[in-house]
Structure 1
């Protein structure tokens, strides 16, 4: 797997090694899971993966921001953003891995 970023190809390769599906079936499975997650989010649903976390859409209100170059106040329009909240299991796993370094 890559050192800095996990790609779809990396996930498909992991499925191939762990489960034993063919490489093309593994790639199709990864694509299918990503498509299902995306479709659910587009419908406005939250996606909860037990032991991993929850993906959800959040509405942000319009607010005033500042152009860092000029210092000028600029309105930032309201928008919908994707957010991810890791599960407690994932938080603990990452924390323990980082504290062991």
Structure 2
């Protein structure tokens, strides 16, 4: 059971299988846009953006040993005002 697929079938006249396929294709398209442009604006939902996380000091929670966490890319999301209003 996937609530997003259920919502897609309830607001349109498509089958669960087609909804699953469309959502999957949308995810692939978002990944392509992020890889090429570094951000993806989804109207009414928000903006997904690739951000650089700097190297930082951390601690192994199991042993307490100090470690260096390497720099990496991460995904940030900023919700659209319309989405914020919908969940309030």
Q: Higher RCO, 1 or 2 (CA under 8 Å, sep at least 6)?
A: 2
Q: CA deviation at 1:65?
A: 1.0
Moved >6 Å (runs of 4+): none
What do the CA deviations read for 1:31-84 (whole angstroms, capped 9, x no partner)? 111111122122243111122111110001111112223332211101001111
Report the Cα distance in structure 2 between the residues aligned to 1:63 and 1:51, rounded to whole angstroms.
Answer: 35
Q: Hey, which of these two has a bigger chunk of strand by percent?
A: 2
Q: Which residue of the partner structure matches residue 15 of structure 1?
A: 8
Gaps of 5+ in 1: 97-101
Q: Does 1:90 align with 2:70?
A: no
- Give the alignment's TM-score, normalised by structure 2: 0.79
Q: Does 1:48 align with 2:41?
A: yes
Number of positions where the alignment pairs a residue of Structure 1 with one of Structure 2: 88
Q: CA RMSD in A?
A: 2.0
Gaps of 5+ in 2: none
- Give the alignment's TM-score, normalised by structure 1: 0.71
Report the Cα distance in structure 1 between the residues aligned to 2:16 and 2:86, rounded to whole angstroms.
Answer: 29
Report the Cα distance in structure 2 between the residues aligned to 1:27 and 1:53, rounded to whole angstroms.
Answer: 21
